[in-house]
A and B are shown apart, each in its own frame.
Chain A
Amino acid sequence: MEYKIVVDPVTRIEGHLRVEAVASGGVITDAISTGTMVRGIEIIVKDRDPRDVWAFVMRVCGVCTSMHGLSSVRSVENAFGIDIPHNAQMVRNIMLGTLTTRDHLVHFYQLSALDWVDIVSALKADPAEASAVARSISPLSDAYTPWGENSPGYFADVQRKVKRFLEANPDNNLFSTNRWCWGSKLYKLPPAVNLVALAHYLQALDFQREMCKIQTIFGGKNPHPNYLVGGMACAINMQDPNAINMERLNFVQQKIHEINEFVNRVYLPDAIAVLSFYPEWASIGGGVSNYLSYGDYPMGQMNELDSYLSKRGIVSGRRMDAVEEFDPMALDGLQEFVNNSWYKYSVGKNQGLHPSVGETILDYTGPTEAYQWLGPDQPYSWIKTPRYRGKAMEVGPLARLAVNCAAGDQGMLEIAGAALSRWQQMANQFNNRDCGLTYDSWFSTPGRMIARAVDASRAAHFMQVAFDSLMDNIKAGDERMFNSAKWDPSSWPADAKGYSLNEAPRGANAHYCHIHNRKIVNYQMVVPTTWNGSPRDPQGQRSPFEESLIGTPCAGIEESNPEMTLAIIRTLHSFDPCMACAVHLYDENGTIIHRINIANQ
């Protein structure tokens, strides 16, 4: 029997995502994913000073806050040929690492863990057993406080607190105690492991707050720290209390240390342990088989690709013996399509456009009253569809793992190898059988989640590398933080085009800008969730969200059962969707009316 399932809203993500799926014969056979919200950032930055645009586009997203600001200043610097001081490059790397590690941590514990961890079951756990489990998952964490809290008393305390919470308003609390499918057979962790994960959910909620303080030191606030075209605004002066000095640097070093500790001793071991209880999922949710990573963490200038700590390239068809090159300027390379989106193109609805000549005109043809079903037969999303030479690509931590392994990056090969063997060993141990996990298991829903934890470990390491380089440079007498050569608009050419390719936490992020007579005339962003969450292209090829849902097992689950929702959101969450990023429309009628008076609002 065939039936239809709608999940809207998909919760525990940034923004507004709707999924419609069709199930038949015990598996999901078709799915569409829809971005249901639009704002219009790209038209709004038109006619603005290019030095200001970072602040506009940073507001694309407050979860991956700072990312679009960084990409924007880099694209403007690329347009004007600005090299930035080494100190500023290292500070930007440290801030990117801060964003990436914090985002991944919050994703695992706050946004996706409840798909795999049953908090109601945690209440039945024996705290002493939980204590023993915690020690076995991460034996090192005893040595380190405050995350060494592994005593039975600690777990009993967590249990007591959460019990009270779940029992208050059981019909309508944040965990929908009486309504969600807690206790379902889809939740497979033993009570003690559920309790450990729940305790770490609470610890991570505390710790994430500490992580972002690094961005506050250099950028003044978080979310939405400040960036600057030409470098960074936070001047260094080792002899003054009013600048980046020894106290500020010590603070940053301390946080980098704590982040490395938490990621390597708590997050990565937890991710592997939790997902080891679900070996059957290691062949579910793989999706498309091409992976794109732009690379990031430059130790030199942005055009010195060899200096990137994370590499650029494409892995096609999961073939790990070669990395293909990505050409940012080939007009037939990177293209965005709108055939299934609520936009139109001057060149027709089925033609793709490179972002350097990109255009988008809003063309909403969807329902104009409450609706039950959108379906794939007409445009169904605010997200455009990017392709590289016609191919759908997955971007994000799994793509970074694949590209860096294929490129032979030693650091990535080592940690990915160690993570896989630990995953194999724990899965076999927990399930009392050979679960048959192989290298191919990476390309699955749990593989993607473990790849994210591996990625966090790499990012934490890169932060230390960048910090060490920053200190060496300051020791060598270089305290520069800003290149003022092209700050004055009179120094700019009449016409300039630029781009930047970066790795956001969720994957490959491209910004293209066209500056004419000192103002932005065209600005296009092709961001990670656009790659992953887009509708199908003119060839009918699905993008990663839709493709990865095909084959999700749902035999014996009634259509109205929340278990059906759970099966779907497990895979969706593994991508860490970020919808506000994915949708950024252009113009409604293509004409500038006049500048709105600020008193108008």
Chain B
Amino acid sequence: MTFYEELKAKGYTRRQFLKFCGIMGAMMGLRQTGVAQIVEALDTKERVHVIWEHFQECTCCSESFIRASHPLVGKILLELLSLDYDDLLMAAAGRVAEETKEASIKKHYGKYILCVEGSIPTGSYGYCTLGGRSAREIFDEEARGAAAIIAWGNCACSGCVQGAHPNPTKARPVHKLISGKPVINVQGCPPIADVMAGVITYYITFGRIPELDGMGRPKMFYARRIHDTCYRRAFFDAGLFVQSFDDENAKKGYCLYYMGCKGPNTYNSCGIIKWNDSVSYPIQSGHPCIGCAEPGYFDQEPFYEHLPSVPGIGIEATADKIGAAATVATLAGVSVHAVVTNIQKRKLIENNTEFPVKEDEVDGI
């Protein structure tokens, strides 16, 4: 049964179906022809079967997923897919749950999507077992039959908190343990619900995984730094910064760069899509971005020191040249904007003089 037939049977109208396609198209930044492709795909394609595994995780990805914002998307998502196994939501437990999964894997071998929430420990057999078997064994077996693997969140993409120093369980992300399969890294701790929905809908629509960046992240959601899409960017450009939480500038919503904001080095859609039905995002609620969509963000602390003081960021971070270049550009921006003499901006700049930009640090780069 196709998605549209399914919807029709559930009592949705053609108009609601087209609206859903439009929302998904808009989220993926597609033009009218692209939306038509979504409509066609959902009209004619079989539902995709999904096995959703939880390994070393905190379940925040699943929790985020069930918060998908647009009502139509949220309602449909659990039905748009055939979610055959997910130990968070499924009714059966124990052996019946396992049998249900085995049946699905057998029947849809080579065609199902394996969704992985959590990292996989390689330190000992006993660090994560399910049904008396290790996470590694289960993962290897299920990955073999999958058409593609979606790595949900920072745990599955890069190890998140348990992968931080000293990584006691030797937690590994999905892409380090498998080759020869498409792996989509959907970053964030957790990923934004609508990003998760968007990735899945793209796959169903186009029958292929979305274009990925060098870190395996879908470009459609991870091509922009938070800094470049932040509504507080204007304050950064004007040289207006918060210098202490709850100070006069914090109350005016100025830029959080000096409070340690990792927006200049973090690629995610928080500034565009925002969180929980676009209610807010961390910076809008006054807290600096902690960079939760970047690999190794827990080893980039202290969180409340601004970028030049963070080990691993700056000119010595040769591992990620793009990131380093972006950081330099950011700092140059601080410097340039601090000496702008544009008359119209003068008043604003004066406001900033009690918190002068630390030129020495900028020069140090």
Contacts and interface: CB of A to CB of B under 8 A. Distances in A.
A522 B212 CA distance: 41
A477 to B, nearest CB: 14
Interface residues of B, number: 119
B128 A36 contact: yes
Interface string B123-142: 11111111111110100000
A538 B275 CA distance: 47
Contact of B245 (A174, A219, A230): A230
Q: Is the interface of B mostly helix, strand, loop or mixed?
A: loop
B246 interface: yes
Given A49-B302, A56-B161, A364 B246 contact: no
B96 A179 contact: yes
B359 interface: no
A155 B285 CA distance: 40
Given A369-B125, A598-B300, A11 B251 contact: no
A88 to B, nearest CB: 9
B285 A174 contact: no
Nearest to A161: B10
Contacts of A364: 124, 126-127
B189 A7 contact: no
Contact of B130 (A36, A157, A342, A484): A36
Nearest to A562: B96
B276 A216 contact: yes
Contact of A598 (B66, B131, B296): B296
B319 A599 contact: yes
Interface in B225-247: 232, 244-246
Interface string B305-317: 0000001100001
Interface in B49-77: 54-64, 66-69, 71, 74-75
Contact of A55 (B130, B166, B290): B290
Interface string A447-458: 000000000000
Nearest to A16: B130
Interface stretch (A206-214, A417-425, A462-470): A206-214
A554 interface: no
B316 to A, nearest CB: 10
A8 B63 contact: no
Interface in B299-345: 299-304, 311-312, 317-320
A400 to B, nearest CB: 23
Contacts of A171: 100, 103, 107
A226 B282 contact: yes
Interface in B179-214: 189-190
Contacts of A217: 279-280, 285
Contacts of A48: 301-302
Nearest to A169: B82
A9 B130 contact: yes
Interface in A19-75: 36-41, 43-44, 48-49, 51-52, 55-56, 59-63, 65
A231 B88 contact: no
Interface stretch (A344-352, A434-442, A509-517, A586-594): A586-594
A326 interface: no
A10 B93 CA distance: 5
A259 B228 CA distance: 36
Interface stretch (B36-44, B167-175, B348-356): B167-175
Given A217-B285, A226-B282, A482-B245, A169 B60 contact: no
Contacts of B146: none
A242 B58 CA distance: 32
B282 A242 contact: no
B295 interface: yes
Nearest to B318: A599
B282 A164 contact: no
A119 B91 CA distance: 10
A216 B275 contact: yes
Interface in A154-211: 157, 160-161, 164-165, 168-169, 171-176, 179-180, 205-206, 208-209
Q: Is the interface of A mostly helix, strand, loop or mixed?
A: loop
Contacts of B165: 44, 593-596
B301 to A, nearest CB: 5
Contacts of A15: 54, 59
A587 B168 contact: yes
B160 interface: yes
Interface in A258-283: none
Given A65-B60, A173-B82, A585-B168, A595 B299 contact: yes
A110 interface: yes
B209 to A, nearest CB: 22
Contacts of A100: none
B251 A59 contact: no
B162 A39 contact: yes
Contact of A59 (B6, B129, B161, B275): B161
B277 interface: yes
B56 A9 contact: no
Given A9-B87, A176-B91, A233-B287, A43 B159 contact: no
A234 interface: yes
Interface string A95-110: 0000000000000001
A464 B93 CA distance: 38
Contacts of A125: none
Contacts of A65: 58, 60, 63
Contacts of B126: 36, 342, 364, 366-368
Interface in B92-130: 92-101, 103-104, 107, 121, 123-130
B295 A601 contact: yes
A135 to B, nearest CB: 23
B10 A164 contact: yes
A597 interface: yes
A237 interface: yes
A63 B58 contact: yes
Contacts of A242: 232, 252-253
Contacts of B75: 206
A110 B318 CA distance: 47
Contact of A16 (B94, B128, B319): B128
Contacts of B101: 172
Nearest to A572: B93
Contact of B84 (A165, A172, A221, A484): A172
A486 interface: no
B196 to A, nearest CB: 12
A382 to B, nearest CB: 8
A40 B163 CA distance: 9
B361 interface: no
Given A56-B164, A226-B287, A370-B132, A168 B1 contact: yes
Given A56-B298, A164-B9, A372-B132, A601 B159 contact: yes
Interface in A333-363: 342, 362
Nearest to B245: A482
Interface of B: 1, 6, 9-11, 47, 54-64, 66-69, 71, 74-75, 78-79, 82-101, 103-104, 107, 121, 123-135, 137, 158-169, 171, 173, 189-190, 232, 244-246, 250-253, 270, 275-277, 279-288, 290, 292, 295-296, 298-304, 311-312, 317-320
26 contacts: A9-B130, A37-B55, A40-B162, A44-B164, A59-B161, A61-B59, A168-B6, A168-B82, A169-B82, A172-B85, A172-B100, A172-B101, A176-B100, A180-B91, A209-B277, A220-B283, A221-B280, A242-B252, A364-B124, A364-B127, A368-B126, A371-B129, A481-B246, A598-B300, A601-B163, A601-B173
Interface of A: 6-16, 18, 36-41, 43-44, 48-49, 51-52, 55-56, 59-63, 65, 110, 114, 119, 157, 160-161, 164-165, 168-169, 171-176, 179-180, 205-206, 208-209, 212-213, 216-226, 228, 230-237, 240-243, 251, 342, 362, 364, 366-372, 479-482, 484, 487, 560, 562, 565, 569, 580, 585-588, 592-601
Given A8-B132, A61-B60, A601-B158, 8 more contacts: A12-B91, A37-B56, A37-B129, A39-B56, A169-B84, A169-B104, A173-B83, A342-B126
